[in-house]
A and B are shown apart, each in its own frame.
Chain A
Amino acid sequence: MKKWRLPEETGIFAVLIVVAAVLSIMSPTFRTLDNGLVLLVNGTVIAFLALGQTFVLLTGGIDLSTGANVAMTGVVGALFMQAGLPWPAAAVLAVAVGTLLGVANGLLIHYLRIPPFIVTFSTQGVALAIPLIITGANSVAVKDPGFSWIGQGRIAGIPLPVLLLAIAAVLAALFLKMTRPGVHVYAYGGNKAAARLSGVNLARTTVLVYAVSGFCGGMGGLIATSRLMVGFPSTGTGNELFYSIAAAVVGGISLFGGTGSVLGAMIGAVLIAVVSNGMNVLNVQSYWQSLVIGLIILVGVSFDTLRRYRAGKPILRRSTGATPSGPAASGSPSTSLSAQQRR
């Protein structure tokens, strides 16, 4: 008697469809294919950050340094090219630097037992300052036209950033579902002590998730820099971090760890991109964007908290059909449940 269950992502997907439909009715500009592609391209940096954030949030941690990582890797990449490196080499090195920041986060969190919030809060400051110090707060122009391919190229009509993101998301989803370290990420976030007793290597898992987040920050830095062909020391230091967490959380990634999927986080990222693009198209002042997205986070987290609360008390879900019987009815919900199960 296997029940067919709706995927967890159904809810957020429905929200996305409704929001997109409403915006399409309100604005003829919104519903064009071109705008759709612009929306997706604009959303890739945040989606990449959300992808990395997903790994971290699944373990119950948080990565606040990811936006600053975009600025750092963007400028570092531009500087490598200025120094004469061919752009592919510069790109690989920049992403490596981003990954390294993540590895540092993971090592500090695991071995010094500093809470993730504090570690990544501090490394955020460091990562913000490095490009400013190196460039003296000036932007670094990229001369190599080949580099523009990353952010502006297209394959079969699909913008390359969107393609890169899609490939990364599919690989990430497969990794989390189909490999041992991936399953360990969920176990870690679900119950760290039990995971350790089940043979999960906590050090390796911690470093892994922050390294993935660092890698994704690096990818974000590449794309942002390539689209502008300028390494700005302040790229990615605006609302990007905030939006990336928002995307993951509304996509069903629990801030408490252990539940959520890459698909959900990506739908969340598209939703954020849709909201932000839709408000632009409708000429809503940009100041409103944070407010709306802040509210979206609150709603997402409230749902998550409610779900967790109910998960602890399954009777709330089951009692709809069953009437508690006799003496159990006078007891608490938990006693009536155990009475049912004993039978």
Chain B
Amino acid sequence: MAAGLMVTSISKTYGQTKALTDVSLAIEPGRVVALIGHNGAGKSTLLRALSGAEVPDTGSIVVDGAADQFLSPADATAVGIACVYQELSLIGELTVAENLFLGTEETTGPLLNRKEMNRRADELCKEYGIPARGTDLVSRLPVAQRQLLEVVRGINRNAKYLLLDEPTTALEQEQVENLLDIIRRLTAERGLGVLLVDHKLDEVFAIADHIVGLSNGRIVLDSPADTVDRLKVIDAIVGDHATVDDSLFSHAELSVEDLEVMDEAKREDRFGDVVLAAEHLSGNGLAGVTLDVHAGEVLGIYGLIGAGRSRFLRTVYGAEPVAHGSLSLLGRPYAPKQPSDAIASGVAFLSEERKSDGFIPQMSSVDNAVLPVLGRYMKSGILNWKALRGSAREILSQVTIRGDISNPITSLSGGNQQKALFARATLQGPKLLLLDEPTKGVDIGAKREIHRIVKKLAREQNVAVIVVSSEEEELTMLADTIVVFRHGSCDGVAYPRSGITPAELRELAWAETKESA
């Protein structure tokens, strides 16, 4: 059999979600395959399957005609597959040389041969244009250099196939060029086969020999780079494929809830006053965000991962500092220094990562729910637990949680935990509710219920809601209006929900790449 990394019709299912369906692709030595696709299209799963981190359900992966089984991470390394993930795996407290030779140290007898390792590390850095020395601490290097170093480490271990997961997101233009040069050289001189996951079509067309597009876990494009143009690529991955989620939610049911005529009236007429207005918010991962949201409006934020959507929410909540630009809340200047300021101003927030910063695991759902509002049921410093727990129980009963709400919150399923956190936000009686991926990792039933809660808050209590989601379908169903983030910026153009389709949303998120074409 020919040399190459051959993937033949692999499929992978998580619960009810089909992450990959019948995916086949080939990475040949000396060639670059670009893998493109939307958030959740299955790119990461495919990458993980190739690097042995994930075992597919069916299909086969064959490396140079040898293996006929799925790989373990150790197998993958042994057959020469190196994967560079977005989260870097270098150890900051070790030097460049120590990182490059970690696990394959040079020794003289029982002693490390540091001199030799440092010398070779210097050589490698020079060869690949990294302005660092073997003895530098990795934590002192800028992210871009670390990214390159990670690539070099992969190559240095005799990798034959290099998998790169969006390696250019953290890089400046010049560094991108350098990385692309390195990839070109490696493929030409060493016959390395490269699989490059990348959002930026410029880069894809600059370097790829072959382009593979994934959408909803299926291959939707598989052509040599010189036979397709940008529009064709965008069309393929944006597509207008009916998705699983679409069929599960019936539009008819939702339209009953939507009494207002979406297209006709102006936002100002349909909703209340402006609750939050952001003007040219930038710095700290944001590159100019201008938008506003009205009382009673559900504003959806769409964008690719890393476009600054979560960063924006966290900035509004006071969890991240504002560098430039201004925010105003209910017409007054608003500059929260910490989340407690935001809470005091009537802003509530639901984090994307429930486990890491959403709840206190040891506390019950009830106690978690009352945490931000302890001050409201207090008499000369003494908490009135009866009133606190009473009000929490009342609100928790409205969201129908399955499980015991006086047990630690970790005893609930993900969807029920999320509902408990919604109850917490409701209890705060917020004027502005910030939701970061509110239905991530919850089942369909809980999802439907969460959508109902959000709509109820906006319609009945006139709360302004901002919801970030990576699911286009979720936004086109839940949000009244949708704005799009691209590379940390947002122009504030609000698209009415009924006037936009999931496919158009995807297209907007990719728009910059398209315009520069």
Contact of B362 among A2, A186, A198 (CB under 8 A): A186
> Using an 8 Å CB-CB cutoff, how does the interface string of B344-359 with A read, 1 for contact, 0 for none?
1000010100001111
Of A90-98, A120-128, A175-183, the segment with at least 4 beta carbons within 8 Å of chain B is A175-183
Of A138-146, A189-197, A215-223, A295-303, the segment with at least 4 beta carbons within 8 Å of chain B is A189-197
> In the complex, which residues 308-360 of chain B have their Cβ closer than 8 Å to any Cβ of chain A?
317, 319, 338-340, 343-344, 349, 351, 356-360
Q: Is there contact, CB below 8 Å, between B361 and A201? A: no
Contact of A258 among B319, B340, B343, B360 (CB under 8 A): B360
CB distance from B242 to the nearest CB of A (A): 25
Q: Is there contact, CB below 8 Å, between A179 and B363? A: no
> In the complex, which residues 93-132 of chain A have their Cβ closer than 8 Å to any Cβ of chain B?
none
Contact partners of B319 in chain A: CB under 8 A: 196-197
Q: Is there contact, CB below 8 Å, between B339 and A198? A: yes
Q: Does A326 have its Cβ within 8 Å of any Cβ on chain B?
A: no
Q: Does B91 have its Cβ within 8 Å of any Cβ on chain A?
A: no
Q: Is there contact, CB below 8 Å, between B357 and A178? A: no
Contact partners of A180 in chain B: CB under 8 A: 374-375, 378, 381, 383
Q: Is there contact, CB below 8 Å, between A342 and B443? A: yes
CB distance from B67 to the nearest CB of A (A): 27
Looking across the interface, which residue of chain A has its beta carbon closest to that of B317? A197
Looking across the interface, which residue of chain B has its beta carbon closest to that of A343? B402
Contact of A200 among B317, B340, B381, B413 (CB under 8 A): B340
CB distance from B366 to the nearest CB of A (A): 12
Q: Is there contact, CB below 8 Å, between A314 and B374? A: no
Contact partners of A196 in chain B: CB under 8 A: 319, 338-339, 357
> Using an 8 Å CB-CB cutoff, how does the interface string of A242-265 with B read, 1 for contact, 0 for none?
000000000000000011000000
Given A179-B383, A183-B374, the answer on whether A258 and B362 have CB atoms closer than 8 Å is yes
Q: Is there contact, CB below 8 Å, between A187 and B360? A: yes
Q: Is there contact, CB below 8 Å, between B372 and A199? A: yes
Q: Within the assembled complex, what's the spacing in Å between the Cα atoms of A299 and B86?
A: 42
Q: Is there contact, CB below 8 Å, between A259 and B343? A: no
Given A180-B378, A314-B410, the answer on whether A194 and B360 have CB atoms closer than 8 Å is yes
> In the complex, which residues 379-424 of chain B have their Cβ closer than 8 Å to any Cβ of chain A?
381-383, 385, 402-403, 406, 408, 410-411, 413, 416, 424
Contact of B339 among A2, A186, A199, A314 (CB under 8 A): A199
Looking across the interface, which residue of chain B has its beta carbon closest to that of A204? B340
Q: Does B371 have its Cβ within 8 Å of any Cβ on chain A?
A: yes
Q: Is there contact, CB below 8 Å, between B371 and A199? A: yes
Looking across the interface, which residue of chain B has its beta carbon closest to that of A180? B374
Q: Is there contact, CB below 8 Å, between B363 and A341? A: no
Q: Within the assembled complex, what's the spacing in Å between the Cα atoms of A200 and B373?
A: 11
Q: Does A157 have its Cβ within 8 Å of any Cβ on chain B?
A: no
CB distance from A287 to the nearest CB of B (A): 38
Contact partners of B367 in chain A: CB under 8 A: 183
**Chain A residue total in the interface (Cβ 8 A):** 27
CB distance from B443 to the nearest CB of A (A): 7
Contact partners of B371 in chain A: CB under 8 A: 183, 187, 195, 198-200
Contact partners of B317 in chain A: CB under 8 A: 197
Given A196-B339, A199-B339, the answer on whether A178 and B362 have CB atoms closer than 8 Å is no
Q: Is there contact, CB below 8 Å, between A191 and B360? A: yes
**Chain B residue total in the interface (Cβ 8 A):** 37
Q: Within the assembled complex, what's the spacing in Å between the Cα atoms of A341 and B410?
A: 13
Q: Within the assembled complex, what's the spacing in Å between the Cα atoms of A178 and B379?
A: 10
Q: Within the assembled complex, what's the spacing in Å between the Cα atoms of A279 and B58?
A: 67
Chain A, interface SS category: helix
Given A178-B382, A338-B413, A341-B403, the answer on whether A194 and B339 have CB atoms closer than 8 Å is no
Contact partners of B424 in chain A: CB under 8 A: 198
Q: Is there contact, CB below 8 Å, between A183 and B410? A: no
Contact partners of A178 in chain B: CB under 8 A: 382-383, 385
Q: Within the assembled complex, what's the spacing in Å between the Cα atoms of A285 and B344?
A: 60
> Using an 8 Å CB-CB cutoff, how does the interface string of A141-162 with B read, 1 for contact, 0 for none?
0000000000000000000000
> Using an 8 Å CB-CB cutoff, how does the interface string of A270-312 with B read, 1 for contact, 0 for none?
0000000000000000000000000000000000000000011
Q: Is there contact, CB below 8 Å, between A197 and B410? A: no
Q: Is there contact, CB below 8 Å, between A186 and B363? A: yes
Q: Within the assembled complex, what's the spacing in Å between the Cα atoms of A301 and B123?
A: 50
Q: Within the assembled complex, what's the spacing in Å between the Cα atoms of A193 and B359?
A: 9
Contact partners of B359 in chain A: CB under 8 A: 191, 194
Contact of B360 among A2, A195, A199 (CB under 8 A): A195
CB distance from A160 to the nearest CB of B (A): 28
Q: Is there contact, CB below 8 Å, between A197 and B360? A: no
Contact partners of B416 in chain A: CB under 8 A: 341
Q: Within the assembled complex, what's the spacing in Å between the Cα atoms of A1 and B336?
A: 43
Contact of B340 among A190, A199, A311, A312 (CB under 8 A): A199
CB distance from B204 to the nearest CB of A (A): 36
Q: Within the assembled complex, what's the spacing in Å between the Cα atoms of A179 and B378?
A: 8
Q: Is there contact, CB below 8 Å, between A187 and B339? A: no
Q: Is there contact, CB below 8 Å, between B382 and A198? A: no
Q: Within the assembled complex, what's the spacing in Å between the Cα atoms of A184 and B351?
A: 19
Given A198-B371, A338-B413, the answer on whether A190 and B361 have CB atoms closer than 8 Å is yes
Contact partners of B372 in chain A: CB under 8 A: 198-199
Contact partners of A200 in chain B: CB under 8 A: 340, 371
CB distance from B369 to the nearest CB of A (A): 10
Q: Within the assembled complex, what's the spacing in Å between the Cα atoms of A342 and B403?
A: 11
CB distance from B500 to the nearest CB of A (A): 31
Contact partners of A193 in chain B: CB under 8 A: 356-357
Contact of B338 among A190, A201, A258, A311 (CB under 8 A): A201
Contact of A312 among B360, B406, B410 (CB under 8 A): B410
CB distance from A264 to the nearest CB of B (A): 14
8 further A-B contacts with Cβ under 8 Å, apart from A186-B360, A342-B413, are A180-B378, A180-B381, A186-B362, A191-B356, A194-B358, A195-B360, A198-B343, A311-B362
Question: What are 23 A-B residue pairs whose CB atoms fall within 8 Å in the complex?
Answer: A178-B385, A180-B378, A180-B381, A183-B367, A183-B371, A187-B360, A191-B357, A191-B359, A193-B357, A196-B357, A198-B339, A198-B343, A198-B372, A199-B339, A199-B344, A199-B371, A200-B340, A201-B338, A258-B360, A258-B361, A311-B361, A341-B413, A342-B413
